[in-house]
Amino acid sequence: MVRLYPFANTFNPGHRLVVELSNGEPLADEHNSLLPPDAFHLPVGRPVTHKIYRDAHHQSRLVLPFTVG
């Protein structure tokens, strides 16, 4: 589970939402400096492997709350 923090945006018809997954980000830059302190994970000091499955047996989804407005 990945914790997402609330924000607001209006997506007009035809607009797209791009999801980017990454690791090894610096702890301070112009993007993540706005996040709460508990948004970061402590490094484990060893290599890790992230597996992202997207096939018939391992379906992925992104669930976002929305309102009509």
pTM: 0.33
Q: Where are the alpha helices (DSSP H) in the chain?
A: none
Binning pLDDT at 50, 70 and 90, where does residue 31 land? low
* Residue 3 structure tokens: 């914790």
43: its two tokens: 């490094």
**Tens of pLDDT, residues 37-66:** 666 666 656 676 777 788 888 877 777 777
Q: What is the pLDDT of residue 42?
A: 60
Of the two residues 54 and 15, the one the predictor is more confident about is 15
Token pair belonging to 53: 């499955």
- Cβ within 8 Å of residue 22, ≥6 positions away: none
In the chain, the largest separation of any two C-alpha atoms, in whole Å, equals 46
d(CA 19, CA 9): 15
